[in-house]
Amino acid sequence: MQRRLDEHNNSDKGAKYTKIRRPVKLVYSEAQDDRSSASKREHAIKKLKRKEKLELINA
């Protein structure tokens, strides 16, 4: 996870969205068993409404 955070903040590669919104700060994480389930969970979180995301962060 630290490697990904460093890539978002220091790499020239990656999404334009994160390049112009640096520094990127990690506000929430959860453990998953494998990469596939982590990707599915990330997708599910991205589909949440803003209010639900804030509740998840603050919980």
Residue 2's nearest CA partner among 25, 33, 20 is 25
> Considering the entire predicted model, what is its pTM?
0.73
Helix (H, G, I), strand (E, B) or coil at 25: coil
CA 19 to chain centre: 14
Give the amino acid at 7.
E
Q: CA 29, 34, 37, 39 torsion: positive or negative?
A: positive
Q: Which domain holds residue 28?
A: 2-58
Q: What is the pLDDT along the chain (59 residues), one digit of tens a residue?
A: 888 888 889 988 878 888 888 998 999 999 999 999 999 999 999 999 999 999 999 99
What's the pLDDT at 8?
87
Number of structural domains in the chain: 1
**Model pLDDT, residue 17:** 86
CA 49 to chain centre: 15
